[in-house]
Structure 1
Amino acid sequence: MKKNYTQRLGPFRQEYERNKKKILMFQDTCALCGKPVDKRLKYPHPMSATIDHIIPIDRGGHPSDICNLQLAHMCCNRAKSNKLQANQEEGVKAPPSNRVLPWSLDWTKYKADSKV
């Protein structure tokens, strides 16, 4: 017998599908690894696009809230499974998140061009 996933069945299905379309339309980068997602790839390709729950449903995350959904590669999403990111610093009270992307630029060394 299959599990009853609340985002596929029940009252959250329509909202989940609407939010999934928005995410696929506006996001292009895997929220877990930071690399581009090729949306032309289809399941079961490991680099195909999937929707990841930032806070897994079985850990109290909302099944269809757009704030709890993000774009991810299927292989990244499978590797994450239902884990939450551990806070790096002890004693820091921060909301749980899995949005750890590599920095694209070290902004501490940025100097504006004076020719503006």
Structure 2
Amino acid sequence: MAELRADRQGAHRVAFDKNKKIILATQNTCGICGRPVDKHLKAPDPMSPVIDHIIPINKGGHPSDISNLQLAHWTCNRQKSDKLFKQPQEEPKVLGNRNLPQMMNWAMYRG
């Protein structure tokens, strides 16, 4: 017999169900594709809402911590499976003018 995942049994199940309700009440877009999720759709509709583990349990993700859970479409969650996706890194902000594009050849400037 297959072993049940941690989010489907014991204390984690109670916490997962509680956090699932919070996410369904507060999130409206798929954490994977970024499009709106219609919460009125029911399984087996491919666009029905599900709760996705951002870091999969088998890759060390917490089974019931709300910071590891997000709303997703069923089909997006199936395609993601147990893959890890890097979060897009924000470009570093330039605080000085040393990295600005050169608009003038200052070597030829005579003051």
TM (normalized to structure 2)? 0.75
**Cα distance in 2, alignment partners of residues 52 and 30 from structure 1:** 9
Aligned residues: 88
* Cross-structure match for 1:44: 44
Deviation sequence 1:36-87 (CA, Å, 0-9, x none): 000000011100000000000000000000000000000000000000014x
1:21 aligns with 2:58: no
- Mapped to 2, the partners of 1:25 and 1:2 lie a distance apart of 32
Residue 67 of structure 1: SS of its match in structure 2? Answer: helix
Q: Hey, what's the Cα distance between the residues in 1 that align with 2:20 and 2:33? A: 19
Match of 2:79 in 1: 79
Q: Which residue of 2 aligns with 1:58?
A: 58
Report percent identity of matched pairs: 58
Where in structure 1 do 4 or more consecutive aligned residues deviate above 2 Å? none
Q: How does 1:75-114 map to 2 (within 5 A)?
A: 75-86=75-86, 97=87
Deviation at 1:8, TM superposition (A): 1.3
User: 1:24 aligns to what SS in structure 2?
Assistant: helix
**Alignment RMSD, CA only?**
1.2
- Name structure 1 gaps, 5 residues minimum: 87-96, 101-116
2:84 maps to a residue whose letter is: L
Q: Shift in Å at residue 3 of structure 1?
A: 3.7
Q: SS in structure 2 opposite 1:12?
A: helix
The amino acid that maps onto 2:16 is Y
